[in-house]
A and B are shown apart, each in its own frame.
Chain A
């Protein structure tokens, strides 16, 4: 478990689909030397106890992230902007995963 040696291994983000029909959810990350081993590592870390039916891994460096410094401009609270919220619709009974 030396930490020095895996500095060269890129980081991958791991997404798991819990069951058919649901979204893939981000669950964490793994280090791996290539794509195939990243999938293998993700399987070992995140799906050993029936957590999922499908796995995605993607290089962390391939993710384009928003800049925390501009979070005000991007995500300012919109509670007072009632016209943005779909509050005038009622969700039909039996719809669980909306």
Chain B
């Protein structure tokens, strides 16, 4: 049960990140960027589907990816609080992506050695995707930080606002500890200095200041979510809930 809970954290993080990225479709500042953001969202959706299927296989009876994505309520979601934060402006989305991709790249590199073969296989397939996401987001991060006065201000504001949600990425609770001791997942606390050094180097190049914000009281991976996730889920789930079993 605990392993299912552990996998759901990564599955839901990918799913919610995907939904946020795809919300840009029709609203992005440039056609080329709209495609880029949607492509990132599609990558995330592909990751979420595999992980949800895997998480569902621990249930008795087995739950499908749709059971988990479309028929759970807000308190049952285990995504990081970071990814449910609303898109804001383009700078806000890019900063959120930088913080997430840096973490996912480190995490997936560790999951290559997972004792859970499905997770190890998953990491092998999808590590190149998150490496690209980091590359994409950090390219823009650099241009906004070291760009115009306005782009710098917006990027710094986004960084300051989102920073409080990054503590959760490295906080180990009972579920993480169980996964670590059975060899399923890494020691999250050991990822923190690596992550911090990547983000700090990028901030330095981008002339942005590393914030010192206080950690959030929200703990998304334990099911504590802000109201923004409720609206996201209403958007995501309304159709399959109103028309059960709908397909095309």
Q: Which residues of B contact A2 (CB under 8 A)?
A: 29
Interface contact B36-A1, CB-CB below 8 Å: no
Q: Which residues of B contact A36 (CB under 8 A)?
A: 139
Measuring CB to CB, which residues of chain A are less than 8 angstroms from any residue of chain B? 1-2, 5-6, 9, 30-34, 36-37, 40-41, 44-45, 48
The residue in A6, A34, A36, A40 that gathers the most chain B C-beta atoms within 10 A of its C-beta is A40
Q: Which 4 residue pairs of A and B lie closest in terms of their CB atoms, listed nearest first?
A: A41-B32, A44-B36, A44-B35, A6-B30
A-B contact pairs, 5 of them (CB 8 A): A1-B30, A1-B31, A31-B32, A44-B39, A45-B32
For the complex, give the distance between the alpha carbons of A36 and B26 in Å.
Answer: 24
Size of the B side of the interface (Cβ < 8 Å), in residues, is 15
For the complex, give the distance between the alpha carbons of A92 and B144 in Å.
Answer: 56
A27 to chain B, nearest CB (A): 15
B143 to chain A, nearest CB (A): 8
For the complex, give the distance between the alpha carbons of A88 and B28 in Å.
Answer: 57
Is B136's beta carbon under 8 Å from chain A?
yes
Interface contact A30-B32, CB-CB below 8 Å: yes
Is B34's beta carbon under 8 Å from chain A?
yes
For the complex, give the distance between the alpha carbons of A34 and B143 in Å.
Answer: 10
Q: A9-B30, A31-B32, A44-B35 are in contact. List 11 more A-B contacts (CB 8 A).
A: A1-B30, A6-B30, A32-B32, A34-B143, A40-B36, A40-B135, A40-B136, A40-B139, A44-B39, A45-B35, A48-B39
B132 to chain A, nearest CB (A): 8
Q: Which residues of B contact A40 (CB under 8 A)?
A: 36, 135-136, 139
For the complex, give the distance between the alpha carbons of A14 and B32 in Å.
Answer: 13
For the complex, give the distance between the alpha carbons of A32 and B34 in Å.
Answer: 13
Are A31 and B35 also in contact (CB < 8 A) when A36-B139, A37-B139, A40-B136 are?
no
Within 8 A of A (CB), among B9-59: 26-32, 34-36, 39
Q: Which residues of A contact B31 (CB under 8 A)?
A: 1, 6, 31
Within 8 A of A (CB), among B114-156: 135-136, 139, 143
Interface contact B30-A31, CB-CB below 8 Å: yes
Q: Which residues of B contact A45 (CB under 8 A)?
A: 32, 35
Q: Which residues of A contact B27 (CB under 8 A)?
A: 1
Q: Which residues of B contact A31 (CB under 8 A)?
A: 30-32
A59 to chain B, nearest CB (A): 15
Interface contact B26-A44, CB-CB below 8 Å: no
Task: Name the residue of chain A whose CB is nearest to the CB of B32.
Answer: A41
A79 to chain B, nearest CB (A): 43
A3 to chain B, nearest CB (A): 8
